[in-house]
Amino acid sequence: MLEVKNLSASYGQHRALESVALDVRAGEIVVILGANGAGKTTLLKAIGGGVRPAPGARIVMNGRDLAMVKPHDIVEAGIALVPEGRGIFGELTVRENLMLGAFPKRARAGEAANLASVLALFPRLSERLAQTVRTMSGGEQQMVAIGRALMSAPDILLLDEPSLGLSPIMYKEVFQILTRVRAAGTGILLVEQNAKQSLKIADRGYLIEQGRIVGAGTAAELAADPAVQRAYLGAGEARPG
Ligand code: ATP
């Protein structure tokens, strides 16, 4: 459904992505693992339209090349990004934030049905539709951000570090919800530093180092890979006592 080829991007002289290739199909969770500064955020921004890819990139969604189209057309094509830091409006209510996500043309006709399915996914939000978002916990705010993205009825959801700053109970709940989004047929591209938890829910993954994809496999293959265990799963670290 989403196919990325030869995706490079730079900030001035600094090459942040180099010839990245990956794909995400309907109904699967694909995780991108990489250290700080490896290029994960840049990768999601380049797909979502926030960073301009270098010439020659192909970002093909359901057969249409989006490499040079504007961010709102990317949303219309079925890709929704939940950015790092969530990008929600703290002074607005839960309902107002969700309705902002219903603005794309592709979502307008189905607005009521989309709202019902988002609230079914996030019962906590349905109890708090009138609450101002800044008064909510980090986990609840992350749910609002994901809910807003889902209001555009995306085929592919891009998520940048959804577990960041959340308590273990909260991120487990958020990850559990992602498995239900997958079950509804949406493809998910997930950037995470929490490798252990994200490999538990992912179907496949890619490793990114210094802007390049250096490994790929099923979640089970990656979890069993000694290099992945050393770099991302804490194997070989000194243990207290
Ligand atoms: P993190 O997990 O720390 O967010 P990341 O893997 O998401 O890291 P990116 O944020 O994509 O990494 O950054 C990739 C590289 O590009 C880094 O070297 C970073 O310093 C650089 N970079 C990111 N944004 C900019 C910017 N706006 N201007 C210049 N350089 C940038």
Note the pLDDT of residue 203: 98
Pairing of the two strands 204-209 and 187-192: unpaired
Residue 195: burial class (beta carbons within 10 Å; 0-12, 13-18, 19+): buried
Contacts of 106 (CB under 8 A, 6+ apart): 75, 76, 78, 152, 153
How much is the pTM? 0.92
| Stretch 155-163: mean pLDDT | 95
CB 41 near ligand 1, within 6 Å: yes
Residue 185: burial class (beta carbons within 10 Å; 0-12, 13-18, 19+): exposed
CB 16 near ligand 1, within 6 Å: yes
Note the pLDDT of residue 47: 96
Contacts of 68 (CB under 8 A, 6+ apart): 53
Domains in the chain, please, with CATH?
Answer: 26-49+70-232 (3.40.50.300)
Q: How far is the CA of 109 from the centre of ligand 1 (A)?
A: 37
| Stretch 217-233: mean pLDDT | 91
pLDDT at residue 153 is higher than 60: yes
Condensed to tens digits (0 to 9), the pLDDT of residues 55-96 reads 999 999 999 999 888 888 999 999 999 998 888 999 999 999
Q: How far is the CA of 129 from the centre of ligand 1 (A)?
A: 35
Condensed to tens digits (0 to 9), the pLDDT of residues 9-54 reads 999 999 999 999 999 999 999 999 998 899 999 999 999 999 999 9
Are residues 5 and 56 in contact, defined by beta-carbon separation less than 8 angstroms? no
Q: Of ligand 1's atoms, which has the minimum distance to the CA of residue 193?
A: 2
CB 83 near ligand 1, within 6 Å: no
Percent of the chain having pLDDT more than 90? Answer: 78
Q: How confident is the model at residue 117 (pLDDT cuts 50, 70, 90)?
A: very high
| Stretch 116-144: mean pLDDT | 94
* Lowest model confidence (mean pLDDT) among 29-38, 144-153, 189-198, 224-233: 224-233
> Which of the pair, 232 or 157, is modelled with greater confidence?
157
CB 11 near ligand 1, within 6 Å: yes
